[in-house]
Every structure is written in structure tokens, then in C-alpha cells.
Amino acid sequence: MTDLNALAAAIADRLVAAGQTVAVAESSSGGLVSAALLAVPGASKYYLGGAVVYTPRARVLLMDIPREAVAGMRSASEPYALLLARTARERFGATWGLSETGAAGPAGNPYGDAAGHTCVAVSGPMEAVVTIETGEADRAANMQAFAAAALGLLQRALES
């Protein structure tokens, strides 16, 4: 978590300096993205909220994304990650929405994605989405890698 905290601290500095905010929708990282952002003192200046959207039911209850909006879309895909990031940004009224959705392991998911597969997205003044494949089946290590990938994507977006 130490590496995540250092990354989150750098992000916090940029968000505060720019007067910007972030909201998070994460899945296989299990809340690590939000935990890292909230571990930085003064998080209430930039962190508006987040959700662990781990199941289709959570997607509806926590993000208010109906089944029709994801028809034909796999949950661990770039289009779905971007939808989550956009929805988080819009629902919380944040400058940035950040999302992660994947398969931590040790097995893959029902959609054919191997353990270590995730998609991360950022939506705000610019949008980006990236697919990550760790090639590992270690659940905890993948969760850390997924969170680091999401935070890294947000950091790059803030620098652009």
C-alpha cells in the first residue's frame, strides 16, 4: 500500500492545486484506489466519493446504471470502464471520474478474461482507457497492480 500512498499523495497535490475533484468506481481492486486517495491528509478537499462496483447488482444500486445501458458490453472491458468513469464523474459532480474493472484471480472471470486482466479509465477534461494484463494469478498482487494502474492513469491525465 505504501507505493499506492505515494502515488495518491502526488495526485492529491495536483488536484488541490488545480481546485479539482475525483470520484471513483472500482471493482477488482476492492476499494484500494479509494483507500489510497483517502489516506492522504486533507482528502476531503478533492475526494467526493466512490463505490466498489463488484457485481451487476452493485452497478445498479450504487451507480444507477441500468441493465439496458450495458447491453452487449462485457464488464471487464474498455467500454465498460469508460462508462463507469463517466458515471462516477457525473453522479458525484466531480472534475474527474476514475474506474477499474477486471479479474483479480486466482481464476479468471465468467467472461473469459484471465486472472490479472483489468481495464482502467479516467473521464474528465480528457478521457483515456487502458487494458492491463499482469499475467499473474496472485489475487492480492493483482489488486495492488490494478489500483496502481488506475492511479497512474489519473496521474498522467492530470499532467496532460
CATH code where residue 75 lies: 3.90.950.20
> Based on the structure, what is the number of domains in the chain?
1
Question: What tens-digit pLDDT sequence spans the chain (160 residues)?
Answer: 569 999 999 999 999 999 999 999 999 999 999 999 999 999 999 999 999 999 999 999 999 999 899 999 998 999 999 999 999 999 999 999 999 999 999 987 877 889 999 999 999 999 999 999 999 999 999 999 999 999 999 999 999 9
* pLDDT of 110: 78
This prediction has a pTM of 0.96
Amino acid at 142: N
* pLDDT of 138: 97
Q: In whole angstroms, what is the distance from residue 138 CA to residue 141 CA?
A: 5
Cβ partners under 8 Å of residue 117, min gap 6: 76, 102, 103, 108, 109, 131, 132, 133, 134
What is the domain extent for residue 19?
2-159
Query: What are 103-134's pLDDT values in tens digits?
Result: 999 987 877 889 999 999 999 999 999 999 99
